[in-house]
Amino acid sequence: MSDLEYKVIVGLEIHVQLATRTKMFCSCELGFGQEPNTSVCPVCLGMPGSLPVMNKQAFEYSVMAGLALNCNIPSFTKWDRKSYYYPDLPKNYQISQYDLPMSEHGYIEIPLEDGSTKKIRILRAHLEEDAGKNTHTLGNFTAVDLNRAGTPLLEIVTEPDLSSGAEVKALAVELQRIVRYLGVSEADMQKGHMRFEPNVNLHITRGGQLYKTPISEVKNLNSFRALEGSVTYEAARQLDEFLETGITMESGNKRTYGWDDENNRTVLQREKEEAHDYRYFPDPDLVPVVMTPEWLDDIRSRLCEMPLAMEKRFVTEYGLSEYDAGVITSEKATADLFDNAVKAGADPKRVCNILTQTGAKLAKDKECSVAELGVNSENLTALAKMIDDGDVGASAAAQVFELMVETGDTPGQVAEKHNLIQKSDASEIESLVDAVLADNAQAVEQVQAGGKKSKKARGFIMGQVMQRSKGQANPKVVNQILAKKLG
């Protein structure tokens, strides 16, 4: 078997719930966790005589996402009905887009672990309404909650350009970052705002011949962990299966799997894909959407810099490490806060440290994002400058930041009020140093003797000086004076 090589081939179908206030074709509010069947109306219940009307905001959001995914936005889009009978589908058809989606032929650039990026082609992205939810806890009956019915979903379909669980995860994370940057989706995985369905198979070469394993579709994944895990698991499983059985892809042997989160494995759901005939046809209740150049320009003007571009810029222009740039750009508001502070003249590394260390820790305690701590970019710039100028020391700076968050005051006000301004007055510090040296003759001797204990003794003296200054002495100045006195 030593001549066997294989490639993992993965394509993704992704459903992203758009962050509109109301549903796709009616004015019911979108929500999460409401009492069953309370956010419904004749339209989303599919009542006889009711008619859908397109939510313009949802359409614009989807166009924004399409543009961010480098898609072509056609000037003419229509709505189609996709028919199937299911209790959670009020009309027994879903309004979707079939042959003329609102965007197609784009790509998403994803960061790889080695620091490079890879372009994954997007086949299409289209808009559709979500179905409701069935629950089977009533014995012989199925309970149906239609609160979710009519929720706007953007369905994104990639080409099979992904080749590992890690890449699939990277795409998911990048897509989440993009839609959040655009503000078109909250993309909260736990609330099911993003759901993934990877299609996985292997291209195996053995003895100079190519074999393709049957495609597995893993349904409805809503965590990065499950997504990555399912692809990795499927790749390994398919290899084992091929080695054991030699089974290859034929029409009709595509299989559907679910994900068992506890045991970290995929579980076969259906051996054979049901031959579905969705009987797509244009929905006669909805007029087609004509995208004028003016409208498209207007939507385009609402786009922002994309996260990956920002991340790259922070590395090349601001000299951040790739790691720091990744952390800072994980969320748009934080990235903007950082960018604005730097643009106002703060040192990038300094601001980055404040945000990724003190800021991140504080945000974690408060269970919010760094930006939500409420420190504005002017105050951030001011704090960074105070550190640069030696007005506050490193540990004091962290305290200043925390107090800024609590009080909303400027760093200057906070430092003043809490005596955190670093003292750099050489004569004042010199008298402090003299007092410490006088009180610690033994340590002075050890320093001057050199050798093993010298460094430790010097540190002890330094600590004593700082203690007596209540931490306000500028360590740089202290060091200079010590060097002069102790040689």
Determine which residue in the list 9, 19, 24, 44 makes contact with Zn ion, applying CB under 5 A: 44
Q: Does 325 bind Zn ion (CB under 5 A)?
A: no
Determine which residue in the list 15, 61, 65, 81 makes contact with another protein, applying CB under 8 A: 81
10 Å CB burial of residue 33 (0-12, 13-18, 19+) is: exposed
Determine which residue in the list 2, 33, 35, 48 makes contact with another protein, applying CB under 8 A: 48
Q: Does 351 bind Zn ion (CB under 5 A)?
A: no
What is the longest distance spanned by two Cα atoms in the chain?
97
Q: Which stretch binds another protein (CB under 8 A): 85-93, 199-207, 223-231, 295-303?
A: 85-93
Output 55 or 185, the one with its CB closest to another protein: 55
Output 87 or 471, the one with its CB closest to another protein: 87
Q: Does 26 bind Zn ion (CB under 5 A)?
A: yes
Q: Which residues pair with 80 in a beta bridge?
A: 96, 282
Determine which residue in the list 8, 12, 19, 28 makes contact with Zn ion, applying CB under 5 A: 28
Output 5 or 99, the one with its CB closest to another protein: 99
Determine which residue in the list 240, 285, 388, 416 makes contact with another protein, applying CB under 8 A: 285
Angle at 67 between CA 64 and CA 68, to 5 degrees: 85
Interface size with another protein, residues (CB under 8 A): 29
Query: Is there a contact between 461 and 447 (Cβ–Cβ < 8 Å)?
Result: yes
Q: Does 293 bind another protein (CB under 8 A)?
A: no
Identity of the residue numbered 420: L
Output 53 or 483, the one with its CB closest to Zn ion: 53
Q: Does 41 bind Zn ion (CB under 5 A)?
A: yes
Q: Which does 44 bind (CB under 5 to 8 A by kind): another protein, Zn ion, none?
A: Zn ion
CA distances to 87, 109, 162, 262, 440 from 116, in Å: 47, 10, 15, 33, 56
10 Å CB burial of residue 81 (0-12, 13-18, 19+) is: buried
Q: Does 85 bind another protein (CB under 8 A)?
A: yes
For residue 2, count other CB atoms closer than 10 A to its CB.
Answer: 5
Q: Which does 394 bind (CB under 5 to 8 A by kind): Zn ion, another protein, none?
A: none
Determine which residue in the list 11, 52, 152, 411 makes contact with another protein, applying CB under 8 A: 52
Q: Which stretch binds Zn ion (CB under 5 A): 40-48, 319-327, 349-357, 362-370?
A: 40-48
Site map (CB under 8 A) of another protein, residues 351-390, x = contact = ----------------------------------------
Tokens of 219: 């349904």
Residue length, the chain? 487
- Considering the complex, what minimum distance in angstroms separates the CB of residue 46 from another protein? 5
Output 87 or 390, the one with its CB closest to another protein: 87
- Considering the complex, what minimum distance in angstroms separates the CB of residue 145 from another protein? 13
Output 28 or 45, the one with its CB closest to another protein: 45
Q: Does 291 bind another protein (CB under 8 A)?
A: no
Residue ranges in 90-129 that form contacts with another protein under rule CB under 8 A:
90-93
Q: Does 36 bind another protein (CB under 8 A)?
A: no
Query: Is there a contact between 223 and 189 (Cβ–Cβ < 8 Å)?
Result: yes
- Considering the complex, what minimum distance in angstroms separates the CB of residue 54 from another protein? 7
Query: Is there a contact between 154 and 15 (Cβ–Cβ < 8 Å)?
Result: yes
Q: Does 143 bind another protein (CB under 8 A)?
A: no
Q: Which stretch binds another protein (CB under 8 A): 218-226, 276-284, 350-358, 410-418?
A: 276-284
Q: Which does 303 bind (CB under 5 to 8 A by kind): another protein, Zn ion, none?
A: none
- Considering the complex, what minimum distance in angstroms separates the CB of residue 36 from another protein? 15
Q: Does 42 bind another protein (CB under 8 A)?
A: yes
Q: Which stretch binds another protein (CB under 8 A): 41-49, 163-171, 343-351, 470-478?
A: 41-49
Determine which residue in the list 29, 31, 47, 435 makes contact with another protein, applying CB under 8 A: 47
Q: Provide the binding-site residues for Zn ion, judged by CB under 5 A.
A: 26, 28, 41, 43-44
Binding site for another protein (CB under 8 A): 42, 45-54, 81, 83, 85, 87, 90-93, 142, 144, 277, 279-281, 284-287
